[in-house]
Structure 1
Amino acid sequence: MALKEYKTGQAFPGVIGRTFDVSEPAWPAPLRAKQGAPNVLFIVLDDTGYGQLGCYGSPINTPHIDALAAEGLKFSNMHTTALCSPTRSSLITGRNHHSNGMACITEGSMGYPGSNGAIPFENGFLSEILQQRGYNTYAIGKWHLTPAEQTSAAGPYDRWPLGRGFERYYGFLGGDTHQYYPELVSDNHQVEPETTPEQGYHLTPDLIARAKAMIADSKQVAPDKPFFMYLALGTAHAPHHVPREWADKYKGKFDAGWDAYRQQVFEKQKALGLLPENAVLSRHDPDVQDWDSLGADERRLYARMMEVFAGFLEHADHHIGDLMAFLKELGEYDNTLVMLISDNGASAEGGPTGSVNEGKFFNNVPDNLEQNLAAIDDIGGPKYFNHYPWGWTHAGNTPFRRWKRETYRGGVSDPFIVSWPKGIKARGELRRQYCHAIDLVPTVLDALDIEAPERIRGVTQSPIEGFSLKGCFDDAEARSLHVTQYFEMFGHRSLYHDGWRAVCPWPGTSLIESGRQFGDPIDYDTLIQLDAHGWELYNIDEDFCETHDLAEQERDRLIAMIGMWYVEAGKYNVLPIDSRGTARFGEERPQISVDRKKYVYYPGTQMVPGNAAPRVINVAHSISVHAVVPESGAEGVLLSMGGNDGGFSFYVQDGKLTYGYNYVADQRFKVQSESPVPSGEHIFSFEFTPTGKADIAKGKGVPANIKLFVDGERVGNGDLPVTIPLQLGLAAGVAVGADTGAPVMLDYPSPFAFTGKVKKALIDISGDAVEDQEAKMRMYLARQ
């Protein structure tokens, strides 16, 4: 007899007698997807510009991504928000980034409905929808969708991947990570890589291996159960990390420079049909150096930085190909709806000269050509947190002007590929329909014949704000449903409407022309002036690359579009406009626990991420570690914060108590004890005392004096001429008893775990002096 099943909410259809032999069972029906429902795979690249994939005209080899385009559709008119978290929130919810509270990355949230960093539960994720429809749901790689203050082990976990409809997760919660020493999370807990860089570890193949394993785990048990996978690689965000052999494949390929690259790619894009025949390449950007005016050493360095980037991107393509091959081996490829997209245009965070430490950008620290040249042979390896110069950024966004963080097309126009052999008849065709990141969710729902739910877990859902692209899958001439779209990022505003774009650039058309810098504030009076005189107007149907400003000739149209921008801003919670850049990262935000002056931490626990850790920048503080040193002596890290891109470490080396400070990998300082560390149980402390003022605009935190103590007795003293002004290394977590990840200092290997026993550690930001307080400290630590 066939099993009898019934759905939730239905009456029990079996028979219940007094004994089993006169009864008939019936079972709650398992949640099953529709027969033949396709798998759905989102592949999200990071900081990859319109002109950086092979199938979009680039000389960078991306054969596996190109194959997806050849087997499906390539879109020439896709748009994003100009920044990562905002775009990712749109990709996964179908709502605009301000509707999601994601005006900026979560670290730049500002406490307004459109900018609080907390995606509302009424804006359901695609994972939450498909999980309710019988799908397995997996997230792999970069997340960056949880308020930064909520990524510690204290949670809450409701905005982590498993709280938003994903059944499994493996990746990193922040905006970027070291590709050799990543800060990894598996489901809801931190983990360490299973191998080391010396053993060949790199994050990309690790992520792909985990993706394959998750798919196989389910398919070997339930072959007909579809999956939704959100695969977000770290590529091609800084740090540009790749094994040397991949970068060396491009030796000499970029020696002609970024302007030659732009011309080559522009011509190829026209040949591929991506651009209209009348398209004009945007100008050489005034902020970008003229390649021919550079010295030989600069050209050599910048060419190598681009070789590393190209190798990084091809390396990722190779492993994407590995995943596609696995789907084919399983027989799942033809019925997998693949959508590949980048989250914004190429990134200019490397500045005009590139950088061996992206952390300098976030701390307003200028780069040093001599230091970068000295690092040339190690760029791409684990030693540096490197990023190319913005000449390559501009080239990577060919044919458009400008870049990430700005809403000219260079910041918001991105590659977008859709492949679904079983569901799309067209092969290798181009689609020109206007589309935006918010269109992916409604397209998937339309393709799967699923209506957006009215409620998810009891929460009434807001309307989806995007438009389905399914109509153009097999009809190249289908009408574009997406007629109007606003943009705003750090005060840089624009509006698309029916073939036209109005743009109000901030800080200006370029830094040189405006005389302003990224992060300069827009006050109310400035906004009035910008609305009166700061807008440009482009007919995108006739001027694809925004090269001919029609603001004067089409004044009435421009005024109408400015008004339309404000209508959209009101509709989607865009206001207030806040153009401040890195200064936003230092704003105070709600913490899970009440503010306090003393923090106790324990070994063997998860690292406390920087946004949930004590703020020790530019303030007096002390750290005390209660530890036991065996008779034979000990070495290793007692407590660390940060990584090889910046931070500090408190450790024992060569028998000496040591304080090491890494100033954005630009300079490193050490203060050591005058005498060896004694054996036995002791409290080891250091005291950080500011000796001057910070100059944050110039990338300088407070100078400071460092005193070292053993049981309250001073054993060492030294000075730091400069410290980090805004943000320690991008990981910057508190680690007790080891320096996990990329090590803060160069004189020890990771994790340099303490070989004695660490009992606990106290971070004190009250400003109280350590000297002569040993008994008080011991009592405080004992109470915890």
Structure 2
Amino acid sequence: MSLKEYKTGQSFPGVIGRTFDVSQPAWPAPNRAKDGAPNVLFIVLDDTGFGHLGCYGSPINTPNIDGLAKDGLRYNNMHTTALCSPSRSCFITGRNHHSNGMSCITEGSVGYPGGNGYIPFENGFLSEILLQHGYNTYCLGKWHLTPSEQTSAAGPYDRWPLGRGFERYYGFLGGDTHQYYPELVRDNSQTEAEKTPEEGYHLTSDLVDRAKAMIADAKQVAPNKPFFLYFAPGACHAPHHVPKEWADKYSGKFDKGWDAYRKQVFEKQKELGIIAKATKLSRHDPDVQDWDRLTADERKLFARMMEVFAGFLEHTDHYIGELIAFLKELGEYENTLIMLISDNGASAEGGPTGSVNENKFFNNVPDNLQQNLAAIDDIGGPKYFNHYPWGWTHAGNTPFRRWKRETYRGGVSDPFIVCWPKGIKAKGEVRTQYCHAIDMVPTVLDCLGIEAPVQIRGVTQSPIQGFSLRSSFDNAKAESLHKTQYFEMFGHRSLYHEGWRAVCPWPGTSFSESGLGFGAPMDGKKLTELDAKGWELYNLNDDFAETDNLADKERDRLIAMVGLWYAEAGKYNVLPIDSRGTLRLADPRPQIAVDRKKYIFYPGTQVIPSNAAPRLTNVPHTVSVHASIPKGGAEGVLFCMGGNDGGFVFYINGGKLTYGYNYVADQRFKIEAKNGGIPEGDHVFTFEFAPTGKPDIPKGKGVPANVKLFVDGKVVGEGNLPVTIPISLGLGGGLVMGADTGSPVMLAEDYKPPFAFTGSIKRSLVDISGEPIEDLEAKVRMYLARQ
């Protein structure tokens, strides 16, 4: 006898009698997807340019991604926002990035509707929509869609993955993470990797294993239930981390330099039909060095940095292949709608010489070529947070000009592959229809036969702003439905309209030509000047790579497009324009707790992300740890903030109280107690950080400082820091007590992570009041006792 079911909102269709024998049961119907509904898989790469994938002309081996292209379609006219979080908000909502409050990464949010970092609940996520239609929903890898100040254990959790329609999550909440020592979150709690780098751990393989397990968990119980998997590995964002054997595959492959790479890829793109035969290669960028004029050491270093990147990408492709093979093994591949995309063009955050620590970029600290050369044998391993030089960035975006953070096509034109063997007849073809990141959600809904909901959890939904690409799947000549699209990133603006693109570069066509660097401020007077004289115009129908500026010849058209840009800006909350770049990271933002000058922290708690921790750059502060030393002594970390890319650590080693400071891996300083031998029992261990000068933030210098060490209120050591970090203590770690988890602040000769404290810690006090230390021990004990 079949069960009688009824839908939510319907009246009970059974019979309720006085007793069971004269009654007929009926059950609320489970939320089931339509029969035969396809799975949906988004694969979101990071900082991967138009000329990086093998199927887009690159010499880098990506056979598994190429296999998706062979079974599906490659689009050569897909566009993103030029930055990661903004693009990802478009992928998952179908709305523009300023409509999502995501003008920038969440760490650079501002107090205006278009940039506050709070994606409105009326802009529903695809996960929330598909959950309503009987899908399992999984998110793996990079998230970066929660306000950065809300990623601590205090929450709120409503903008974490599980708060936005995903049933399960495993990955990292921020913009990047150490690939060997990642900052992992499982669902709504922090977790640790189950292996160490020495045991073969790498984040990408871990993410694939978790993804396969999540799919298998449900499919073994309900094989007919479809899933939506949002899979976003850290690759190929910095740090470029990959086991040495993968990088060594490319030994010598890039010795001819970035211009040779561009020419090779450009010719291959024409051969593959990715670009038209008549396309002109964009110029050699004025900011990029001439390879032939570099020294032998520079060429050796830069070639190795690209070998590491290439190995990282091939390594990622290998594990994507494992995921695809698993779908085939389950019999799910044919009916899985797969979309693979990068979130922006290749990244120039490595600067002209590359970097062994990307955190230098975020703190305006210039790189040091000699330090980079000294690190050459370890690039790609866990010791460094490395990034290649921007000559390779320019090459990775072939045939376009410029890169990530700018709205020339090098920043916003990205590889995009759609593969759905059961749903798309065409195989291995190229599609030229104009499309944008906001078109992915409406395309999925169209393919699934689902209308965009009017409400999600009681919240009335805003209109989806993108257009479905389904009409182009089996018709190469289908009309482009996306007619107009604005762009804005850090003051760099452009507009697409019916085959034309107007671009207003800021701070200019290049740094060397403008005489300005990234993050140059723009005021109203400058904006007016740019609107009058700074716009360029390109006919993409004849000029795919934006090489022929028609601004003078098509003045009336350009004026109309500038006006249209402002109309779109008003429509989508783009204003005000904020070009300040990394300086936005230092802006104060609302915190969950009221502002205070003293903070108490407890042992055994989760790591506190840096954006939710006390701001300890450029301000006087003391950190006091109430701890107990057992008989025989103790060692280990008492208090730590940051990672191998920058931060500080307060610890006991060899019986000596020690303060270690890592200035963006450029310099490390150590201040020790004069004598060791701390007796057993309860103690208050304190360091006092007292600025002795002013910061020079634009030049990457925080305050110099004097640091004093105290045991029970008595000075036991003192030293000076000639320079400190000006903006961000570290990308790869937060605040933690009792250990240096993740990548270590100091070097291996200082201690081996996590260097857990072997005594016991009761509480810690961070004081940023700036009050002088008097009767320290008594005051700290009294304050800690009150908490």
TM-score bracket relative to the smaller structure: over 0.9
Instruction: Identify the residue that residue 105 of structure 2 maps to in structure 1.
Output: 105
Correspondence for 1:762: 765
SS at match of 2:562: helix
- How far the C-alpha of 1:603 sits from its partner, in A, is 1.0
> Could you say which residue in structure 2 is the equivalent of 1:256?
256
Map of 1:283 onto structure 2: 283
CA contact (8 A) 1:609 1:731 kept: no
- Structure 1 equivalent of residue 12 of structure 2: 12
Counterparts of 1:241 and 1:679, CA distance in 2: 43
Q: Is the 8 A contact 2:71 2:421 kept in 1?
A: yes
**Secondary structure of 1:628's match?**
strand
Hey, what does 2:783 align to over in structure 1?
780
- Rounded to whole Å, the distance in 2 between the matches of 1:759 and 1:38 is 53
Q: Which residue of 1 aligns with 2:377?
A: 377
Matches within 5 A, 1:404-443: 404-443=404-443
2:340 is matched with which residue?
Answer: 340
Distance 2:733 2:24 in 1: 61
How far the C-alpha of 1:44 sits from its partner, in A, is 0.0
What is the CA–CA distance in structure 2 between the aligned matches of 1:198 and 1:164, rounded to whole Å? 36
Task: Tell whether the 8 Å contact from 1:84 to 1:105 is kept in structure 2 after alignment.
Answer: yes
Which residue in the other structure is 2:642 paired with?
A: 642
Distance 1:556 1:206 in 2: 55
TM-score normalised according to structure 2 size: 0.99
Q: How does 1:307-346 map to 2 (within 5 A)?
A: 307-346=307-346
What is the rounded CA distance, in whole Å, between the counterparts of 1:655 and 1:382 in structure 2? 28
Taking the aligned partners of 2:309 and 2:430, their CA distance within structure 1 comes to: 27
Provide the C-alpha distance between the structure 1 equivalents of 2:230 and 2:428, rounded to a whole number of angstroms. 24
Letter in 2 for 1:648: F
- The answer for the alignment partner of 1:161 in structure 2 is 161
- 1:701 maps to 702
Instruction: Give 3-state SS (helix, strand or coil) of 1:414's partner.
Output: coil
What is the aligned length?
A: 784
Check conservation: 1:49, 1:345, Cα contact below 8 A: yes
Q: Secondary structure at the match of 1:639?
A: strand
SS in 2 for 1:512: helix
Q: Distance in 1 between matches of 2:681 and 2:118?
A: 48
Q: Measure, in 1, the Cα distance between the counterparts of 2:441 and 2:752.
A: 45
Deviation track 1:661-689 (CA, whole Å, cap 9, x = no partner) reads: 00000000000011222221100000000
Does 1:739 pair with 2:740?
yes
Q: In the alignment, is the contact (CA less than 8 A) between 1:685 and 1:770 conserved in 2?
A: no
Deviation at 1:773, TM superposition (A): 1.9
Contact 1:609 1:734 in 2 (8 A): yes
How many Å separate the matches in 2 of 1:748 and 1:143?
A: 32
**1: CA distance, partners of 2:272 / 2:497:** 26
Aligned to 2:118: 118
Contact 1:672 1:717 in 2 (8 A): yes
Cα RMSD for the two superposed structures? 0.5
**Pairing 1:194–2:194 present:** yes
Q: Which residue is 2:684 aligned to?
A: 683
CA distance in 2, matches of 1:770, 1:724: 24
Q: Is the 8 A contact 2:694 2:703 kept in 1?
A: yes
Alignment of 1:377-526 (within 5 A): 377-526=377-526
State the AA in 1 paired with 2:400: F
* C-alpha distance after superposition, 1:113-155 (max 9, x if no partner): 1000000000000000000000000000000000000000000
The CA distance in 2 between the partners of 1:731 and 1:237, in whole Å, is 13
Structure-1 separation of matches of 2:752 and 2:474? 56
**CA drift at 1:771:** 4.6
What is the CA distance between 1:59 and its match in structure 2? 0.3
**Residue aligning to 1:32:** 32
**1:11-40: CA deviation from partner (whole Å, max 9, x where unpaired):** 111111111111111000000000000000
Match of 1:134? 134
Deviation at 1:770, TM superposition (A): 3.1
Q: Deviations over 1:416-468 (max 9, x none)?
A: 00000000011101100000000000000000000000000000000000000
Kept after mapping to 2: 8 A contact 1:673/1:717: yes
Determine if the alignment matches structure 1 residue 553 to structure 2 residue 556: no
Q: Is the 8 A contact 1:687 1:769 kept in 2?
A: no
Q: Distance in 2 between matches of 1:522 and 1:699?
A: 21
Q: Within 1, Cα distance between the matches of 2:308 and 2:758?
A: 37
**TM-aligned CA distance change 1:359 to 1:388, over 3 Å:** same
Task: Tell me, yes or no, if the aligned pair for 1:610 and 1:731 is still in contact at 8 Å.
Answer: no
Query: Following the alignment from structure 2 to structure 1, what is the Cα–Cα distance between the partners of residues 776 and 718?
Result: 17
Contact 1:704 / 1:721 at 8 angstroms: preserved in 2?
Answer: yes
Looking at structure 2, the residues matched to 726 and 230 of structure 1 have their Cα atoms a distance apart, in angstroms, of 32
Alignment of 1:578-657 (within 5 A): 578-657=578-657
Give the corresponding residue for 1:77: 77
* CA distance in structure 2 between the partners assigned to 1:674 and 1:680 by the alignment: 20
Q: Which residue of 2 aligns with 1:68?
A: 68
What is residue 715 of structure 1 aligned with on the other side? 716
Given that residues 42 and 230 in structure 1 are in contact (C-alpha distance below 8 angstroms), is that contact kept between their aligned partners in structure 2? Answer: yes
* Distance (Å, rounded) in 2 between the aligned partners of 1:22 and 1:681: 74
Q: What whole-Å deviation, never above 9, does each CA across 1:506-536 have from its counterpart, x for those lacking one?
A: 0100001011111011100000000000000
**How far apart are residue 185 of structure 1 and its match?**
0.2
Deviations 1:308-352 (A, max 9, x none): 000000000000000000000000000000000000000000000
Q: Work out the CA distance in 1 between the residues paired with 2:515 and 2:720.
A: 37
Aligned-pair distance for 1:733? 1.1
CA distance in 2: counterparts of 1:771 and 1:745, whole angstroms: 31
Structure 2 contact 733–743 (Cα < 8 Å) conserved: no
1:146 aligns with 2:146: yes
Q: Distance in 1 between matches of 2:381 and 2:542?
A: 45
Corresponding residue SS for 1:40: strand
Could you report, residue by residue, the CA deviation over 1:288-320 in whole angstroms, capped at 9, with x for unpaired residues?
000000000000000000000000000000000
Give the distance between the partners of 2:83 and 2:753, measured in 1 at CA: 32
CA distance in 1 between partners of 2:631 and 2:457 (Å) = 59
Equivalent pairs: percent with the same residue? 78
Task: For residue 767 of structure 1, give the secondary structure of its aligned residue in structure 2.
Answer: coil
Aligned equivalents of 2:228 and 2:751: distance in 1? 42
Write the distance in 2 (CA, Å) between the matches of 1:680 and 1:55: 65
* 2:274 equivalent to 1:271: no
SS in 2 for 1:247: helix
* Gap regions ≥5 residues in structure 2: none
